[in-house]
Amino acid sequence: MTESAAPERPQYGEYEVEAVLGRGAMGMVYLARDRRIGRRVALKTVQIGQKFDDESDATEFFQRLQREAEVCGSMQHPNIVTLYEPGYENNVISFLATEYVEGESLRDRLKRSKPLPLDDALRIGEDILRGLAYAHAKGVIHRDIKPANILLSSEGQAKIADFGIARPVNSDLTAVGSMLGTPNYMSPEQVKCDTVTTKSDLFSVGVVMYEMLTGVKPFTASDVSGILRNVVEKNPALASEVNPEVPEPIGRFVAGLFAKKPAHRVASATEALEELQNLRSMTPATSVDAMPGEAAEAGANPAPGVAGTTDRADDDTAAARSGLTTQREVPPPIFWGVVAALILPIAAAAAFIHASTDPRPTAVIEPAKAMEFAAKKRALIAAKSLTTAGRYDEAIAAYDAYLKRYPKSITAQVGRADTLKGLERARAKSTVTTESKAPPDKQKSLWQRIFRRRK
């Protein structure tokens, strides 16, 4: 009796399938191995389950695949999934062999636990912006930033995946008039089928960060039409209002990313990354998870009636075994005399502290407010330093930027006015200096010069 042969694994070109990773928008996604070099890859296959209405639809579909291959092939960045090789069949792409990221997607992470810890959310946001800054510098707009397209490696690094509907900035393919993307994460201009720019990706990043920080989608609704209407019209509460653990400056930063009008958003992914890094550096790191271990190592006081019982029991047992008496009976007069001697000084001290202490409540400054105050103070000091250095134009620009954000700041208004006065004095001094350097003859009156020539 002959043994039945083991079923052969599917193969795509030089790639041998090892396992199923999931189903993508175009077909199955496999974990495969490159037989030539042994490298493991994520293999995105193209499996068309429906017929195209006409030849132009089929042409556009395969053009989009070809564009994804060209776009991804031109980019090499730690925060972007690398494309290794496209596979062709009958002159059209049949699969894409990409970097295999061992870990999970951000969508799966949010399904397990949300909201994310503050530092995790900010670190992932930085990685996304870092990858987008690179892609935008290459002239590529992703147009579908969402948790499912953010892969998290086992080391915690975030990588942007699936440039399937990305396009170069100067491309006309699927441009104005076509609504592509995922409703909850689309920008208003995508919903309206208007011109899409790199700022549309920033809007989507803001939505993703909001979900990481709060655990909810800012524009969610019961149906797609409601979601799209919310994207265009709704102004959600700040992330810091939904989740008190989020500092207010972070909440305002995220809101600035998904402002309704592109002109009101941060100028670029690079600027957004720099601002987020500054905010993160001012955010105190949380160490809640490490506290139990640290308390144990430091010998922290145990909970009443729980920890510490064993130690006390062991001490008593050891004393009993050694024949020592651990308790002695004290006569009542002596006992109450000792108690009185201890209580009276304590009561006197308490009365003195109460009398010398201001009974009015003390204000407590929240960390977020303290961070914002420190940032405001640094900005004002920098503007004043520019004025002191005589760099009046830069100082005025700095004050203008500050007043745009804090228009009621008296300090900034006074500083700007002083800077303008300094600029006027500098210009007046420059004019006087120029006039004083004129030739001696030109400084004299006309009659003085005529009389001198006649002499």
- Could you tell me if 372 and 248 are in contact, meaning their C-beta atoms sit under 8 angstroms apart? yes
* Cα R_g (the chain), whole angstroms: 35
Tokens of 67: 């564009």
- Could you tell me if 293 and 242 are in contact, meaning their C-beta atoms sit under 8 angstroms apart? no
Q: What kind and span of H or E run contains 98?
A: strand 92-99
- Could you tell me if 231 and 187 are in contact, meaning their C-beta atoms sit under 8 angstroms apart? yes
Tokens of 261: 């009008």
| Catalytic-residue membership of 441 | no
Please report, to the nearest 10 degrees, the dihedral formed by the alpha carbons of residues 305, 308, 314, 315 taken in order. Answer: -100
Tokens of 441: 């003859």
Helix axes 269-282, 248-257, angle to 10 degrees: 170
- Could you tell me if 43 and 85 are in contact, meaning their C-beta atoms sit under 8 angstroms apart? no
Tokens of 397: 């620009």
d(CA 399, CA 417): 10
The neighbouring-strand residues paired with 103 are 153
Q: What are the backbone dihedrals phi and psi of residue 159, each rounded to the nearest 5 degrees, phi first? A: -130, 135
- Alpha-carbon torsion 35, 37, 38, 44, what sign? negative
Contacts of residue 270, Cβ cutoff 8 Å, sequence gap at least 6: 133, 137
Q: Residue 434 half-sphere exposure, CB side, CA atoms within 13 Å? A: 6
From the candidates 34, 54, 144, 162, which is the catalytic residue?
A: 144
- Could you tell me if 33 and 16 are in contact, meaning their C-beta atoms sit under 8 angstroms apart? yes
d(CA 150, CA 128): 8
- Could you tell me if 80 and 142 are in contact, meaning their C-beta atoms sit under 8 angstroms apart? no
d(CA 197, CA 268): 10
d(CA 163, CA 141): 9
Beta strand spans in 340-433 (E)? none
Could you list the active site residues?
Answer: 144
